[in-house]
Amino acid sequence: MAESESLETITEHERILQEIESTDTACVGPTLRSVYDDQPNAHKRFMEKLDARIRNHDREIEKMCNFHHQGFVDAITELLKVRADAEKLMGQVSDTNRRLQDAGREVTAQTEEVIRCRIQQRNMATTVEKLQLCIPGEMTWLRKLMTDVNLFLFRYYSALKTMEQLENIYIPRVSQYRFCQIMAETLPKLREEIKEISMSDLKDFLESIRKHSDKIGETAMRQCGAEAGDSELCQTSLRSEQKCSFNLVGFLFKVLTAQDLVDFSPVYRCLHIYTVLGDRETFENYYRKQRKKQARLVLQPQSNMHETVEGYRKYFNQIVGFFVVEDHILHATQGLVTRAFTDELWNMALSKIIAVLRTHSSYCNDPDLVLELKNLIVIFADTLQGYGFPVNRLFDLLFEVRDQYNETLLKKWALVFRDIFEQDNYSPIPVENEEEYKAVVSRFPFHDAEIEKQQFPKKLPMSQSVPQIYSQVKEFIYASLKFSESLHRSSTEIDDMLRKSTNLLLTRTLSSCLQNLIKKPHIGLTELVQIIINTTHLEHACKYLEDFITNITNVSPETVHTTRLYGTHWPNSPLHISVILVSWRNCYS
């Protein structure tokens, strides 16, 4: 019976221990009370059983700790290694948190601003909706005004017309509302703002055409040159165009207007605005005053303009561009500029241009440069004449430039003659065969029946300088003719100019070179005799020079007003007389 009770007790204690291990701690109290309520000494046996169970669990815990000890040590070691990285990461996290907080505050501020704008928009929409219910017609015009004002950079004129209708028609109908009073007070300010902005656009326009006037003028002059068939001028313009950023390629043979190259809308817009505002006169006076200032700037030449043809070309381009723009304004607007105003500007400009060209051309010593200047003046005059500007004074100026051109030619040929005389041996020209004879007479019109009958070798009476001088005189005539081209002069006038310039070459330049030659100490009696013979042959050859000029100009020498070459009046020509006098003076000195 005792054993049965002991076994039962042990079993009960096992149950109690399992229940303690598996149940919640709140239920431990009733379970333990059952141990004391059972048998008197059962709690001692339970305590022993409990101690044994605890020791068993301690052994299991110890085994488990021993088993996981090394892993725990390794884990601690790893944790120590990552402590530094963890601290750095914590610092970065802190910085990130601060940035996020700043961004959050900024987003919050922006959100609040957006909310305020949304509220304002909602209030405005609600107000418009309510007003539409009361005055739908008037509010339609109000919305149109707000649209035009918001877009007034491109719709000034429309906005002004809308404001005028609001003031005169619609605002009086709803004048009892406070917003209409505010609007009526705001409209004058809007007008002034539109007026100021349009004037600012006009100033930008004036500055733009000031910068690009040379490109506008270049295009106009190039078109005029193309129509006149001046291919050299067109090619030169194209070369200069390649150096600039204002692209006009492809327009060479297309008729362009200023409208194709310049946006004139700021002028039209500003003119309309000032007209609507009743202040057109102020705008006209301002525009004319500014253009007069720009005209004076355009007419100021560079100090070294005479050194290269590019200086003249840029000067002409700027002037043409200026007046092309004014001509377009004259015809595209009504009264902004008048013909009297443009004529006044042109007359002022023409006087300045003539004075500038007269001064700068006098510095030119290169005949090629003077010839290029003449070509530019012709194209310049023709271009402006095509726009209705009188240019007779420019063609009159060309006569002065022609005299300057002839002077530079005479100086150039004086050097040519001097070199020919210095290289001459002052002996009759020997010819060994027919080929040599033909080579000489092809350059100089020599005819002598007695010498032609002689057998080769033979000698021609003049020295080698004679055919050279004769060829150079013909080259001079060609050079002089180049200036007469495109001057809109008759053949008779061109013939007269060629003969006069040739006379100057013979009687002044060639005669002076001969006199200087005769005065040289190394010229003896033999050389003097040969020089006289040479001069005689040159005198006789002048009639062939007259025929040469006649073939060029197609003007008959029998014409009443035809100028004759002095050399044909043998033996009383100035060239022959001067040579004879100086020669005899040297012989007897």
**What is the CATH number for 520?**
1.10.357.30
Q: Is residue 280 part of a domain?
A: yes
Kindly state whether residues 353 and 319 are assigned to the same domain: yes
Q: Identify the residue with better confidence: 548 or 94.
A: 548
Q: Is residue 398 part of a domain?
A: no
404 neighbors 497 (Cβ within 8 angstroms): no
Q: Is residue 448 part of a domain?
A: no
Q: Cβ–Cβ contacts within 10 Å for residue 533, how many? A: 16
For the chain, state the CA radius of gyration. Answer: 55
Q: Is residue 79 part of a domain?
A: no
Kindly state whether residues 131 and 274 are assigned to the same domain: no
* Dist. CA 185–CA 181, nearest whole Å: 6
Kindly state whether residues 377 and 261 are assigned to the same domain: yes
Q: What's the rounded mean pLDDT across residues 83-88?
A: 76
Kindly state whether residues 37 and 111 are assigned to the same domain: no
Q: Identify the residue with better confidence: 30 or 356.
A: 356
Kindly state whether residues 332 and 471 are assigned to the same domain: no
**What is the per-residue pLDDT across 292-302, written as a single tens digit (0 to 9) for each?**
999 999 999 88
pLDDT for residue 143: 53
Sequence length of the chain is 589
Helices (H) and strands (E) in the chain — how many of each?
A: 21, 2
pLDDT for residue 562: 54
Kindly state whether residues 62 and 94 are assigned to the same domain: no
Which of the four pLDDT bands, split at 50, 70 and 90, describes residue 231? very low
Q: Which residues contact 469 (CB under 8 A, 6 or more apart)?
A: 417, 420, 510, 538
424 neighbors 530 (Cβ within 8 angstroms): no
Kindly state whether residues 531 and 489 are assigned to the same domain: yes
Q: Is residue 378 part of a domain?
A: yes
Kindly state whether residues 89 and 62 are assigned to the same domain: no
Q: Which residues contact 426 (CB under 8 A, 6 or more apart)?
A: 463, 465, 526, 527, 530, 531
Kindly state whether residues 472 and 333 are assigned to the same domain: no
- For the chain, what is the domain count? 4
pLDDT for residue 94: 81
Q: Which residues contact 472 (CB under 8 A, 6 or more apart)?
A: 413, 416, 417, 420
| Mean pLDDT over the full length of the chain | 78
Model-wide pTM > 0.85 = no
Q: Is residue 170 part of a domain?
A: no
Q: What's the rounded mean pLDDT across residues 280-304?
A: 90
> Residue 38: which domain range?
9-23+32-67
pLDDT for residue 477: 93
Least confident of 37-46, 54-63, 116-125, 500-509: 37-46
Which of the four pLDDT bands, split at 50, 70 and 90, describes residue 105? confident
Kindly state whether residues 204 and 107 are assigned to the same domain: no
Kindly state whether residues 326 and 411 are assigned to the same domain: no
Q: Is residue 342 part of a domain?
A: yes
Kindly state whether residues 410 and 328 are assigned to the same domain: no
pLDDT for residue 521: 83
Furthest CA-CA distance within the chain = 193
* β-sheet bridge partners, residue 460: 429
* β-sheet bridge partners, residue 335: none
**What is the per-residue pLDDT across 337-375, written as a single tens digit (0 to 9) for each?**
999 999 999 999 999 999 999 988 888 888 999 999 999
**What is the per-residue pLDDT across 525-543, written as a single tens digit (0 to 9) for each?**
888 889 989 998 998 888 8
* Dist. CA 65–CA 61, nearest whole Å: 6
417 neighbors 487 (Cβ within 8 angstroms): no
Q: Is residue 41 part of a domain?
A: yes
Q: Cβ–Cβ contacts within 10 Å for residue 268, how many? A: 15
